[in-house]
Amino acid sequence: MPNSSRSGPILIFDGDCAFCTTSARWLQRRLGGAVPVEPWQFTDLAAHGTTAERAQYEVLWVDEAGQVHGGAQAFARWLIHSGGWWRPVGRMFTFPPIRWVAAGVYRLIANNRDKMPGGTAACALPPEKMP
């Protein structure tokens, strides 16, 4: 049952995608389990200020203030929030030109997630979402 009254951040990913699920869980173990990492299919997206269309397209980080960050910036915010030496790494990903490169790499992986290790046909983005 989603908790729409949460006070902390949440990472939302595509739970139908094996590659996304494996990646999100792997990162959760490395970054610590303090932040909920939930599939969008079991999350009250409206309560988090987003939509299924956006959640299908990119991983989302919803911060304490309710601001939604997507794609590479979602990962950057997760790293920053994790603290320690992850914080400066995450901050690097918020500044150009690293931000631009990270966005391009994220989009390349997201557009081809069905071809990534562990990916299946269910991982493919809906055709109308492909740029």
Q: pLDDT tens-digit profile of 43-80?
A: 999 999 999 999 999 999 999 999 999 999 999 999 99
Output the pTM of the full model. Answer: 0.89
Give the pLDDT score at 6.
56
Alpha helices of the chain — where are they, by DSSP H? Answer: 18-31, 52-57, 72-82, 86-92, 98-111
- Please identify which residue in the block is written with the tokens 């109308």: 128
Q: Which of 88, 93, 74 is nearest to 20 (CA)?
A: 74
Q: Which of 9, 7, 61, 14 is nearest to 34 (CA)?
A: 9
Domains in the chain: boundaries: 10-124
Residues in the chain: 131
